[in-house]
Structure 1
Amino acid sequence: MKTTAKVLFLLLMVITLNAQVKDFPKLMEDDFSGLKITREQTFDGNSLWGYINGGADIFLEYGLNNLLLQEIEVNHNKLKIEIYRMTDPYAAFGIYSVSHYKCEEKYQSLKFSCVTQYQIQCAIGEYYISIINTNGSKDEQELSKRVFDIIISKIHSDEVTLPEVFKNSLLKQNIEQIKYFRGILGVQNGISEWYDYFDKFEGYEIFVLPTKLSGSAVNVAQIKFKSSSDAKLFLGNVGIETGDIEKITEKITNDSGRFVKMLNETTMIFVKSYSDSSEIKELIKKIL
């Protein structure tokens, strides 16, 4: 009986893994001629450590279902395709937001995408996608874009909606730099100077946009804590008394400013400026 049970368990695992692979918006060898898939493998939260040792924790912090890895070759050009299926679109956007740097261009058809000589990244629906080429040649870049187009055409999911504060015209210039965190690893990777603000909390969500107003650095964030007591403790940590809902509270010290507008008992807009000028204060109030 034990042997039969083990066989049935293994069979169920194989069926489950095959179903997961088929469910991915993956590349198929008949998608275009000359395409050869040289490796295809799936990873879940436990096995991800075997693929990206030291980097798996942040994916788990955001919420990972599984990863499909494909390595392909077309006319001696090689690509690595990583399709991370996260738990929800915000998890996918979050991991994308802390993974892209110095984008050279973006896909106009997508809200969140980043193209460089060696890599294409995007967040679309619950998927974070990364396509990496080996040499950065023109042929490899063109192949990457062709593969990318095929993969995203197979995804039909809703994209992330940003909080209303980030629709302000003063923030449009750098909106593609917005980041989303669900834990301290995200904060550490995306805005390390705020680490001490959040290392004692859990269960929060942060959208933050590093930007400039009139040439001065400003970080604009919408933060949601899991409880009103956490929100009050955070305000105390940054030197601000608990403010009334929908009213602006500010604290100016040492040539910098902190501004808060409570949206409800657990959610706030928090702005950290690195200037105490009256001009910056007025611009921040226009955002709030």
Structure 2
Amino acid sequence: MNNRIFLFVFTVILFIHQGYAQDTTINQYLPSEDVLNGFQLTDDPKIYKGNDLYDLLNGGADVFLEYGFVQAIVADYKNTSGQKLQVEIYEMVDSHASYGIYSLQDIVDNKPDNLGDEGQIVKSNAFFIKGKYVVRLSGIFPEGEEEFVLKQISDNISSKIKVTGGKPLIIQLLPIQNAAFPEIIFFRGNIAFRNIYYFHLENIFKFDDGVAGIYPEYTIIILCYPGKYKSVQQFGIAKSTLSQDNRFSSFYSKKGLFQMVDDRTENKISCHNYENYIIIFIYEGSRNINPLLKEIIFNIELLK
């Protein structure tokens, strides 16, 4: 059988089984048998690529694909007591994409654990990133042993992923005011952006990368563009679109700035254009945002 026919038949078989047979490029990161504490595979691991992710994630695939999803492997385990373990490893296009997925997760709290580049163990779940990989462990474990088992398996997986990652530089633009450290979300598209704050159904900002700093009393969103011309263009489109939206009132604008009130939430919104960035402040009541804006502009100049 020639190679083309063989590959075609093989692909059809894989599709029928709603997953993929083992792919050594990601299969190698599954935990070693000696750290599984009696857990054994219940079936062959499945690999999902591209849009096959919809078969795995109900409602969450769009966000992964927006960041840049490559493939995922899912392995299910069980021990002799009937307790279960599931290992999910997602390969993203780069470490910034994996960080973005991590920054969106509800599992994240204020108590980081020493897992991978960044990660946490919460109850019977472990979630961490290492390089361009996102790893999630979940299951039912012997009482009192959850953290030990999850940490041991997580460390084993992490040790197999040799490349570490780094946070996107745009995060460094967020101000630190009065030692208040914000919840940080890094995003790459309108789906994640709308989950932070809903402006419009259409992608009126059309940015490359974005970061949101969610502080106790306000939210700051910074959108990055490939150049100043593009940021000015999208700033104008957003201003024109939102000024005609009856959801917003008290609209005011001048060069490089527009402000409005969201009548749905009563939030005040101030949008600024500086260099290749759009900077958005969302807050309630009266607030002097100039010190925050000045710090962001200072940080932008530092990164040049």
TM range (shorter): 0.7 to 0.9
Partner of residue 184, structure 1: 190
Partner of residue 260, structure 1: 272
| Residue among 34, 41, 57 paired with 2:38 | 34
Is the 2:23–2:47 Cα contact (8 Å) retained in structure 1? no
Deviations 1:200-238 (A, max 9, x none): 3545321101103xxxx2111220246332233234537
Give TM-score, length-normalised by structure 1: 0.77
| Residue among 223, 228, 234 paired with 2:238 | 234
Is the 2:273–2:279 Cα contact (8 Å) retained in structure 1? yes
Is the 1:182–1:204 Cα contact (8 Å) retained in structure 2? yes
Q: Provide the C-alpha distance between the structure 2 equivalents of 1:255 and 1:186, rounded to a whole number of angstroms.
A: 20
| Residue among 66, 69, 77 paired with 1:61 | 66
Partner of residue 133, structure 1: 139
Q: Which amino acid aligns with 1:121?
A: F
After superposing the two structures, state which structure 1 stretch, 99-108 or 35-44, moved more: 99-108
Cα drift, residue 41 of structure 1: 1.3
Cα drift, residue 140 of structure 1: 2.5
Is the 2:91–2:134 Cα contact (8 Å) retained in structure 1? yes
Cα drift, residue 28 of structure 1: 2.4
Partner of residue 148, structure 1: 154
Partner of residue 165, structure 1: 173
Is the 1:118–1:136 Cα contact (8 Å) retained in structure 2? no
Q: Find the residue that maps to 2:113 and give its secondary structure.
A: coil
Partner of residue 51, structure 1: 56
Cα drift, residue 133 of structure 1: 2.1
Is the 1:235–1:241 Cα contact (8 Å) retained in structure 2? no
Is the 2:204–2:238 Cα contact (8 Å) retained in structure 1? no
| Residue among 119, 122, 132 paired with 1:116 | 122
Partner of residue 203, structure 2: 199
Q: Find the residue that maps to 1:6 and give its secondary structure.
A: helix
> Aligned pair count?
271
Q: Provide the C-alpha distance between the structure 2 equivalents of 1:28 and 1:43, rounded to a whole number of angstroms.
A: 21
Deviations 1:111-170 (A, max 9, x none): 53233113221232111111112369422232111111111122222222342223x432
Q: Find the residue that maps to 2:180 and give its secondary structure.
A: helix
User: Tell me, which stretches of 5 or more residues in structure 1 are unaligned?
Assistant: 244-248
Is the 1:42–1:68 Cα contact (8 Å) retained in structure 2? yes
Partner of residue 92, structure 1: 98
Q: Does 1:208 align with 2:209?
A: no
Is the 1:263–1:269 Cα contact (8 Å) retained in structure 2? no
Is the 1:37–1:71 Cα contact (8 Å) retained in structure 2? yes
Q: Provide the C-alpha distance between the structure 2 equivalents of 1:43 and 1:233, rounded to a whole number of angstroms.
A: 38
Cα drift, residue 54 of structure 1: 3.1
Cα drift, residue 259 of structure 1: 4.8
Q: Provide the C-alpha distance between the structure 2 equivalents of 1:187 and 1:91, rounded to a whole number of angstroms.
A: 14
Residues 30 and 158 of structure 1: CA distance in aligned 2, closer, same or farther (over 3 Å)? same
Q: Find the residue that maps to 2:63 and give its secondary structure.
A: helix
Residues 110 and 43 of structure 1: CA distance in aligned 2, closer, same or farther (over 3 Å)? closer
Partner of residue 7, structure 1: 6
Q: Does 1:222 align with 2:222?
A: yes
User: Tell me, which stretches of 5 or more residues in structure 2 are unaligned?
Assistant: 14-19, 244-251, 298-304
Cα drift, residue 72 of structure 1: 2.5
Q: Find the residue that maps to 1:25 and give its secondary structure.
A: coil
Partner of residue 275, structure 1: 285
Q: Find the residue that maps to 2:165 and give its secondary structure.
A: coil
Q: Provide the C-alpha distance between the structure 2 equivalents of 1:136 and 1:185, rounded to a whole number of angstroms.
A: 38
Partner of residue 246, structure 1: none
The alignment's C-alpha RMSD in Å is 3.5
Is the 2:213–2:221 Cα contact (8 Å) retained in structure 1? yes
Residues 85 and 154 of structure 1: CA distance in aligned 2, closer, same or farther (over 3 Å)? same
| Residue among 76, 94, 106 paired with 1:71 | 76
